[in-house]
Structure 1
Amino acid sequence: MSALARWCFRHRWSVVLLWLVLLVSATSASSALGNRFANDFNLPDSDSARALKLLDKAFPNQNGETDTIVWHVREGSVRDAAPKERVERMLADLGKLPDVAAVASPFDEAGATQISADGRTAYAPVTFSKSGEKLTAEQMKEFVATARSAGQGTGLQVEAGGDAINLAEEEGGHTAELVGVVAAAVVLFLAFGSLFGMLLPLITAIFGVGTAISVIGLLSHVITMADLSSILATLVGLGVGIDYALFVVTRHRKGLLQGLDPEEAAVRAVNTSGRAVVFAGGTVCVALLGMFTMRLKFLNGVAIGSALTVVLTVAASITLLPALLGILRMRVLSRRQRRRLAADGPVAAGTGGAAARWSALVQKRPWPLAVLALLVMAAISLPTLSLRLGSSDQGNNPDTTTTRKAYDLLADGFGPGFNGPLTIVAETPAAADHAALSTLVLKLKEVPGVAEVVAVPAAPDATVGLVRVVPTTSPQAEETDALIDRLRSDVIPPVERGTTLRAHVGGQTALFKDFATVLEHRLPLFIGVIVALGFVLLLLAFRSVVVPLTAALMNLIAAAASFGLLVALFQWGWGGEAVAAGRAGPIESFLPMIMLSLLFGLSMDYQVFLVSRMHEEWVHSGDNARAVRVGLAETSRVINSAAVIMICVFSAFVLNGERQMAMFGIGLAGAVAMDAFVLRTVLVPALMHVLGRANWWLPAWLDRALPHVAVEPAEEPAAAAADRREPVGAGDRA
């Protein structure tokens, strides 16, 4: 690491140029080729996946996007002359738009069922010639504007719903990222008191994240990447990228204040904090790649994109950052610090002030503080017991969006289950199977929880039959999940018996339900894998059994508290529109895996930075109380600053106005806050004081078997000796 840092420092302009070329090349290629993001929720062994496969085989040409125009009159009927004339003109205009293949009017002979029983609400399915991913946001905005023009200045309300329109509504630019970066800049300036010191972590993170986002777009052409991959990678990359650079810059500034020349300060910073950054980044990547144990394409792409972003931000922190330190040299310090250094000479190592006083208090009262911290975390974690996985839909969108309004109009006019119909796809290879399918239709009408059953007309020799089932409850309701299970286990099997009929329950609602069920069943294995990997990494780093066990327990507590916060805000609806929670609904089924990966990785970061300094002091002194006290005093300020930065970046993603990203932002921000300010600052050091020398216990046979890995090696002997001689509380002016 020393050699790498020295080379980058001395060849600073070449390193900056190489990073600039990499960023520009990746961005240009990504802009030229675009992206092919796709959400693949397919589960090959699920009933809904078999239904989808059979449907695609029977109707291979029906791959275009289908969205819906909904209109409602407050008085009278949609069949009245005035609203009917305006709507028919509007539907004709929609049919002339690019890529619109068909518009099914409710006023045609076959469209009678598209008008509600009270005659005040109607809808028209609009089929496009392209899939939703290939339709641009500009097209959808023109589509919505054309549709809503029919209601301007009248009592007619016109709204539009559908996946393509929903994606266009979510095109919110980069407001969240900008707000997060600005907030991080303020925190950095307050911490450093230097403009250049503030800019270094931001520039480093932007280079790493910018390159990663472009590469992710390119990767989407060769592997399945979910559309949230780039947004999530930005969220993670900005948080860890700024933090990693912060740790290195803080160590570099400390070296300058102790009298080192800029090159030696940069080399030492990279060889100490930079080494810890590499290890911390590795733990984040290991946790993220643990999602491969779920064996789902959707999560694999997210894992690859996020891990790639972490790798590039780490690379920028240990190559680009020392080059920038070489360019700025002493200007990383504030003018006041440079004047004081010139007048008074180097500052002695040591830490004082609030950090030292707090560390001493934790040492003095470990039991009361540990109990208080546990009670706080338990209270926040309690709602996790009510966690229900599912999938949000347009009914969870903010009530100002046209998709949410369309959803509500359809639910009010045609019933709550209309927005999530089930599609029963049946194989009917023999003539007798058609009669069996008719019997199934009759039985479906008698099932509690079924509002409507419609058999789609088919040719006499057709080998695939379709039945549309509308539940009485909304797509997200637990009753709807129970209905799907009842159809599969109690209703369909008796009809299939003695025939070659094979019926499968599909549709988007069933697909999301199956996805959530599979993820829920595989979640324990996933948690076990990432906990075990984290344990092994920390075992190697600190040569202790207790430290990794404590870290694993803290990670689980932080995760439980984070999900407790999400359940309260999003599932119970306590947050409402204030945090883009929208209407209360289940927690996204894929969120626990992604969140746990990130939380375990980020929590490990703080554990590494905290315990590495404690371990260093333990190796030097053999005094556990001193090691814990010094480690907490010297790292708590930078850990808290890093946490505040992450909280700012993550919380800013609420501004996207998208429920999924708001969940990630709030969940991660809450977890980081509780992890840094409660667990690492209170509970971990308190427990380490209680455990004493047992913290560093390692069986002799295991000690001989483990390879020696230095996460953050000690300073050079003279400096290290000075650190040990200087009592905590001498004052840290860095």
Structure 2
Amino acid sequence: MATFLYRLGRLAFRRRHVVTLLWVALLALAGVGAASAPAATSSSFSIPGTEAQKAFDLLEQRFPGAGADGATARVVFKAPDGAKMTDPARKAVVDKAVGELRTGSDQVASVTDPYAVQAVSRDGTTTYIQVSYKVNGMELTDATREALKETGAEARQGGLTVEIGGDALQTVPETGSGEIIGVIVAGIVLVITFGSLVAAGLPLLTALVGVGIGVSAITALASVLDLGSTTSTLAMMIGLAVGIDYALFIVSRYRAELAEGRDREEAAGRAVGTAGSAVVFAGLTVVIALVGLAVVNIPMLTKMGFAAAGTVLIAVLIALTFIPALLGYVGKRVHGRKARKNPVAASDDDKPNLGTRWARFVLRRPLVVLLVGVVGLGAVALPAASLEMGLPDDGSQPTSTSQRRAYDLLSDGFGPGFNGPLMVVVDGDKAAADRTAKAIQGLDGVAAVTPATPNKAGDTAIITVVPKDRPSSTETEELVRSIRDTTGDDVLVTGATAMNIDFSQKMNDALLPYLALVVGLAFLLLMVVFRSVLVPLKAALGFLLSVVAALGAVVAVFQWGWLGSLFGVEQTGPIMSMMPIFMVGVVFGLAMDYEVFLVTRMREAYVHGERPGQAVVTGFRHGARVVTAAAVIMIAVFAGFIGSSEQMVKMIGFGLAVAVFFDAFIVRMAIVPAVLALLGRAAWWLPRWLDRLLPNVDVEGEGLREELASAPEEGERELVRA
């Protein structure tokens, strides 16, 4: 592989004009496709195999046009102190609002009159209008949302407190500011790392080109493949991360080859042949993690994973071809002014850098460093044992939002469980539904049960059950299980609360198979890369330690509330159901990036004759600064999302930033060299029979080095032309 990539790097360097035009043309083509494609809609959210989804499917068949999975809104009214919502003046305001909502949009499926259905609190101070829509929240038009907001604003003029809750006002969180902050920080870190604006600009430029092509392609194909408007979010986040990392690795190795006195074309070829091999295998581990999301069997996650994997492949191809082509244009400006004036002073041999000094420190005290790292991460991981998973609702919104205030008004007026009613679907006649309602009424945790509502055919009925406790509580989850255990197979529990519970359970059940698949395949891949059994095992165990520690930190902050005020956590609660798998997929890819790039240099030095301890020092001398820069950039990108008002986005940003910090600086920079120092030559042991079975991909470039060493200079050029 190293020989092929060496040829590819030199070819891209020499044919830089053609390569650059091809990538620019591809970006333009993807942009035109995205601009001319139909606007993406939000693909319907489904959880195959769950009871809640079966109930939704049954409702679509038996209650056509009811919009069972459509968006909902609750316009909540509270009377001034000393007044009642049953007063004629207040009732007139509510009646007017009901009329406006019914005629305000053709996306409205139904609007309930609170006085007709007795939706007034016992003390008479609170009531609400329930609005159901024909489509889900992401498909609502801006005009529909504005009509809803205007109705609430007009009602406030009548002297009432009016707040609007439900998912009708929810939109895709804007993440642009976080990405902009990340790019700015990336630029600063790259300038500090390289000491050259040109060298710093190359990874940023190519990463943005790769993300532009990937996201534009997703947008262009969204309507055809039903990708949905949120599919590009993960692709953008991952594409930006690995795009900067991979380009950073190639540029860094190119500068090192120049410092050894090689001409620019030869340096580009060797950089792609060596660091490019690490990029290929690092990219494959990320692709495995993303494609592995299909194990969860949730169509939305599967599409997001495949789309992000495609963007990662683009980032790999750009690093292998576009980067060496651009290096052909920048010339000596890839170094800073000081290095251009005195190239000898730029050599790494003059003075031990920080990476070298740190590696030597670890080699002197490997057991102490190992124990401190493992015990420290283990302590941080302890809260993960209390992990409770769920999905955020309006109760987790900031108190400054209308959704949260509506949630609180309904809890005060009707009870905490009123915000998460359960929809019980009975596949039977009215008599069977009445028997079911009576059985549910006797269960613990039930606040109220509404009479059964049959369909026109009389073969299906809906019962609404109001729990006593809030939707995200363990008591409500137990109630759902009790209803399912008490009733027969012809009774299905659904609704937003039941769907969230089933979703959390499905994600929990899929976590171990997903981990086994991703870590298992990556273990085999890394065994091919490093020709070792213990190094891939150490890499996998270190990754698991960093992820569990990050989950512990997330639980401590967002579930327990520790340091919550520091991170803007206004309401503690269960951890988002997707968080563990999402964190595994994203962090695993980045962790393997750092592992492959750092340890590949150690393996390369060891193969070329250095002692195991000296190989560790060599790997840190060449790779520590680059890996540190890559990790700081990713931490900055993810930390930019902590300032979001959305609890889910805030949690994702915090979790990923902490996970990258733990993995890069504690696992890869401390635990890994400590373990390698303790293992010595045993770290690179591989049984002979297994060595014969595994393909030799020559990531460290030993075969390339021997081939070039045995060929004269002109022979090298013939090798390239071959």
Tell me the distance in 1 between the aligned counterparts of 2:503 and 2:358: 47
- Of 645, 666, 669, the residue aligned with 1:681 is 669
Q: Is the 8 A contact 1:259 1:345 kept in 2?
A: no
For residue 491 of structure 2, what is the aligned residue in structure 1? 503
For residue 718 of structure 2, what is the aligned residue in structure 1? none
For residue 148 of structure 1, what is the aligned residue in structure 2? 153
Q: Per-residue deviation at 1:87? A: 4.2
Q: Per-residue deviation at 1:95? A: 4.2
Tell me the distance in 2 between the aligned counterparts of 1:346 and 1:587: 49
For residue 614 of structure 1, what is the aligned residue in structure 2? 602
Q: Is the 8 A contact 1:100 1:126 kept in 2?
A: no
| CA deviation profile, 1:203-262 (whole Å, cap 9, x unmatched) | 111111121112223343344546543222222111111111111111122233333333
- Of 26, 34, 43, the residue aligned with 1:38 is 43
User: Taking structure 1 as reference, are residues 560 and 392 closer, same or farther at Cα in structure 2, changes over 3 Å only?
Assistant: same
Partner amino acid, structure 2, of 1:31: A
Q: Is the 8 A contact 1:239 1:650 kept in 2?
A: no
Tell me the distance in 1 between the aligned counterparts of 2:351 and 2:663: 22
For residue 194 of structure 2, what is the aligned residue in structure 1? 192
Tell me the distance in 1 between the aligned counterparts of 2:670 and 2:498: 45
Q: Per-residue deviation at 1:132? A: 2.9
Say whether 1:47 aligns with 2:42: no
For residue 157 of structure 1, what is the aligned residue in structure 2? 161
For residue 593 of structure 2, what is the aligned residue in structure 1? 605
Say whether 1:487 aligns with 2:494: no
Q: Per-residue deviation at 1:426? A: 0.7
Q: Per-residue deviation at 1:409? A: 1.7
Q: Per-residue deviation at 1:106? A: 3.8
Say whether 1:595 aligns with 2:600: no
Q: Per-residue deviation at 1:387? A: 1.0
For residue 728 of structure 1, what is the aligned residue in structure 2? none
Q: Is the 8 A contact 1:580 1:658 kept in 2?
A: no
Say whether 1:528 aligns with 2:516: yes
User: Taking structure 1 as reference, are residues 673 and 350 closer, same or farther at Cα in structure 2, changes over 3 Å only?
Assistant: farther
Q: Per-residue deviation at 1:345? A: 8.0
SS in 1 for 2:323: helix
Once the two structures are superposed, the pairs formed by residues 297-696 of structure 1 within 5 Å of their partners are 297-341=299-343, 347=347, 349=349, 352-428=352-428, 433-458=429-454, 462-489=458-485, 491-493=486-488, 502-576=490-564, 579=567, 581-621=569-609, 623-696=611-684
Q: Per-residue deviation at 1:619? A: 0.9
User: Taking structure 1 as reference, are residues 61 and 80 closer, same or farther at Cα in structure 2, changes over 3 Å only?
Assistant: same
Q: Is the 8 A contact 2:203 2:244 kept in 1?
A: yes
Tell me the distance in 1 between the aligned counterparts of 2:701 and 2:225: 39
Q: Where in structure 1 are there 5+ consecutive unaligned residues?
A: 497-501, 722-734
Tell me the distance in 2 between the aligned counterparts of 1:602 and 1:16: 27
User: Taking structure 1 as reference, are residues 577 and 137 closer, same or farther at Cα in structure 2, changes over 3 Å only?
Assistant: farther
SS in 2 for 1:621: coil
Say whether 1:19 aligns with 2:23: yes
Tell me the distance in 1 between the aligned counterparts of 2:34 and 2:268: 34
For residue 66 of structure 1, what is the aligned residue in structure 2? 72
For residue 77 of structure 1, what is the aligned residue in structure 2? 84
For residue 251 of structure 1, what is the aligned residue in structure 2? 253
SS in 2 for 1:280: helix
Tell me the distance in 2 between the aligned counterparts of 1:396 and 1:31: 36
SS in 2 for 1:328: helix
User: Taking structure 1 as reference, are residues 236 and 138 closer, same or farther at Cα in structure 2, changes over 3 Å only?
Assistant: farther
Tell me the distance in 2 between the aligned counterparts of 1:130 and 1:424: 21
Q: Is the 8 A contact 1:166 1:403 kept in 2?
A: no
Tell me the distance in 2 between the aligned counterparts of 1:666 and 1:71: 36
Q: Per-residue deviation at 1:471? A: 0.4
Tell me the distance in 2 between the aligned counterparts of 1:642 and 1:658: 27
TM-score norm. by structure 1 comes to: 0.90
Q: Per-residue deviation at 1:141? A: 4.3
Q: Is the 8 A contact 2:453 2:463 kept in 1?
A: no
TM-score norm. by structure 2 comes to: 0.92
Tell me the distance in 2 between the aligned counterparts of 1:313 and 1:307: 10
Tell me the distance in 1 between the aligned counterparts of 2:143 and 2:555: 35
User: Taking structure 1 as reference, are residues 657 and 227 closer, same or farther at Cα in structure 2, changes over 3 Å only?
Assistant: farther
Q: Per-residue deviation at 1:367? A: 0.8
Tell me the distance in 1 between the aligned counterparts of 2:164 and 2:328: 56
| CA deviation profile, 1:645-676 (whole Å, cap 9, x unmatched) | 11011111224432223222221111111111
Partner amino acid, structure 2, of 1:319: T
Q: Is the 8 A contact 2:112 2:131 kept in 1?
A: no
User: Taking structure 1 as reference, are residues 94 and 55 closer, same or farther at Cα in structure 2, changes over 3 Å only?
Assistant: closer
For residue 717 of structure 2, what is the aligned residue in structure 1? none
Say whether 1:99 aligns with 2:106: yes
User: Taking structure 1 as reference, are residues 711 and 83 closer, same or farther at Cα in structure 2, changes over 3 Å only?
Assistant: farther
Tell me the distance in 1 between the aligned counterparts of 2:315 and 2:499: 36
Partner amino acid, structure 1, of 2:435: T
Partner amino acid, structure 1, of 2:155: A
Q: Per-residue deviation at 1:103? A: 6.2
Q: Is the 8 A contact 2:27 2:212 kept in 1?
A: yes
Q: Is the 8 A contact 1:99 1:128 kept in 2?
A: no
SS in 1 for 2:213: helix
Q: Where in structure 2 are there 5+ consecutive unaligned residues?
A: 711-722
| CA deviation profile, 1:22-42 (whole Å, cap 9, x unmatched) | 223223322332213325232
Partner amino acid, structure 1, of 2:359: S
RMSD, aligned CA:
2.5
| CA deviation profile, 1:2-22 (whole Å, cap 9, x unmatched) | 222223222323323322222
Q: Is the 8 A contact 1:37 1:220 kept in 2?
A: no
Once the two structures are superposed, the pairs formed by residues 277-296 of structure 1 within 5 Å of their partners are 277-296=279-298
Q: Is the 8 A contact 2:421 2:464 kept in 1?
A: yes
- Of 180, 188, 196, the residue aligned with 1:178 is 180
Tell me the distance in 2 between the aligned counterparts of 1:636 and 1:537: 23
Q: Per-residue deviation at 1:346? A: 7.3
Tell me the distance in 2 between the aligned counterparts of 1:367 and 1:85: 76
Q: Per-residue deviation at 1:330? A: 1.6
User: Taking structure 1 as reference, are residues 146 and 180 closer, same or farther at Cα in structure 2, changes over 3 Å only?
Assistant: farther
User: Taking structure 1 as reference, are residues 102 and 345 closer, same or farther at Cα in structure 2, changes over 3 Å only?
Assistant: closer
Q: Is the 8 A contact 1:290 1:529 kept in 2?
A: yes
Tell me the distance in 2 between the aligned counterparts of 1:540 and 1:459: 61
| CA deviation profile, 1:71-117 (whole Å, cap 9, x unmatched) | 22341122335544444444444444343536635465x2422x222
Tell me the distance in 1 between the aligned counterparts of 2:700 and 2:142: 48
Tell me the distance in 1 between the aligned counterparts of 2:350 and 2:423: 68
Partner amino acid, structure 1, of 2:654: I
User: Taking structure 1 as reference, are residues 173 and 598 closer, same or farther at Cα in structure 2, changes over 3 Å only?
Assistant: closer
Q: Is the 8 A contact 1:615 1:627 kept in 2?
A: yes
SS in 1 for 2:526: helix
Tell me the distance in 1 between the aligned counterparts of 2:435 and 2:144: 44
